[in-house]
Amino acid sequence: MDPGESDPDAPKTEGPAVAAATPVLSPLDKAFKAVDALLAALLVTMLVMVLGNVILRYGFGTGIGASEELSRTMFVWITFVGAVIATREGTHLAVDSMAARLPPWGKRLCDVLSEAIVLICCVLIFWGTWRQHEVNATSRSLVTGMPLIWIFGVGYVASLGIGVLVAHRLWRMLRPAPAAHGPSGTGPGAATKGRPD
């Protein structure tokens, strides 16, 4: 082997390219990753409770009284918190058969109206949950005795989470576009800066 050639059997290292390819998660991304993990844990717990209750009921003639109620509460939280995550990731179902035929300004108008309607719905959900807060906080479930606000209070989480995401999306849609700069970054006159008189 010549001195200038590399050994083909030597382990290959990619060096700085590996570090550059590793995505850096923001605190918000880490928070949503933690929420994903929490939802997965709730789903597994709900499945174990339901399956265990079925086995106990049909196999041993008994069961866990709180299993059905707790699993129902977990299902509600999984649904509403999952809706927040789907809003952030843009994975909610959408029908754009009409908007696809519109010109660009028409598509933009439909997007703004759609986000505005969602924001109004979030305000209504939060307001309705607030109006019923006292009733739900003082009422308790039949089996576990848990205050019902732990079930209906998920309206706060869903409306605030979706509302903040949609409001930020609306702000990005409606804010004015940044002004174009010349090659040197000093505005349109930058191109003629070095031209002789």
Over the chain (197 residues), what is each successive 10-residue block's mean pLDDT?
55 51 75 89 91 87 84 93 91 82 88 93 96 93 90 94 93 77 51 47
SS3 label, residue 140 = strand
- By the 8 A CB rule, do 133 and 149 touch? yes
Q: Where exactly are the structural domains of the chain?
A: 27-175
What the block records as the tokens of 178 is: 């940044």
Contact 128, 154 (CB under 8 A): no
Q: Provide the pLDDT for residue 194.
A: 46
pLDDT at position 75: 93
Which residue type sits at 159? S
Amino acid residing at 143 = V
Q: 153 phi and psi, to 5 degrees?
A: -65, -10
Model's pTM, two decimal places? 0.72
